[in-house]
Amino acid sequence: MKCFPFPCSDALSGIARDLQASAIGVAKASVVPSAIIDKYNEWIERGCQGGMSYMERYRDVRANPDLLLSGVKSIIVAAFNYYYPSVCDKDTPRFALYALGDDYHEVIRQRLELLASFIKEQWGGATRVCVDTAPVFERYWAQQSGIGFVGRNKMLIVPGVGSYVFVGIVLSTVSFIPDAPCELDCMGCNACVRHCPGKAISLNGIVDARRCHSYLTIEHRGELPNDIDLGNKVYGCDVCQQVCPHNHNAPTTAISEFFPRAEILSLSHSDITEMTQMQFSKIFSHSAIKRAKLAGLQRNNRHCSNDITTE
């Protein structure tokens, strides 16, 4: 585990601390082992990606970071804590915690672009920033860089911080001294397996997106299965993280952009039912929730067991 104090260079760790990273590490760029690729291909062949067809593409790029940045030597991985104590009332629409603040793509990219600029100023070379948009195995590289390990639910767990983290990567053609990979593993309590409301997580760590409430409420297009009961969830699901022992003492984020927005917390089920496109665009400006689109949010709302419009 590579949290503060950082094991990488003082200069690199200092700028990462200024950018409010919770953990940072460096992995030596290389071709991803065939065992990792084979597991991923098997997951795709089973159809566990659901409608996320983009995960089927660019598999050669996922396997070889040199196809993302020619001449890459180092993969710098940073984790940013977004945890904020529960602020949702049990009778109000529930959004995944990660989406209650500003869009993490924008927030993390801005920080990592500053880190990339610093690297180029100090050591030269070329860089590329990846924040959940490029075909790269982020969690594999996070483990290789020493900052954490992957749980049964496929979430990256940073010891002392938990899994409420966003992960970003800076590829660099500079050869930094790599950190030792994280050798820790999940406790094996299987709490995430037992409590997953869609039974999407198996004991062997395979997550079937087609049963995952997070996938169904965010990525899935079209109608939801008739038998699904979302409870109050209208966007995403945090159950597997809520029951994870590694999150029981999760620290509150210091990144103000991730603080929950009052205008999102104040929404009622009827507000979502009656929401216009103009209201949706205004309320969720620079928000990850826009990914579901208004139609998706209203569809999810109709499936909520406590939706007052269905009583």
Which residues are marked as active site? 132
145's tokens: 């860089």
DSSP string covering 87-156, please?
A: ---TTS-EE-GGGSSS-HHHHHHHHHHHHHHHHHHHH-S-EEEESSSSS--HHHHHHHTTS-EE-TTS-E
Dist CA 237 CA 207 (whole Å): 14
β-partners of residue 172 are 74, 127
109's tokens: 């990219």
Residue type, 204: N
Cα–chain center distance at 227: 27
Q: Are 40 and 206 in contact (CB under 8 A)?
A: no
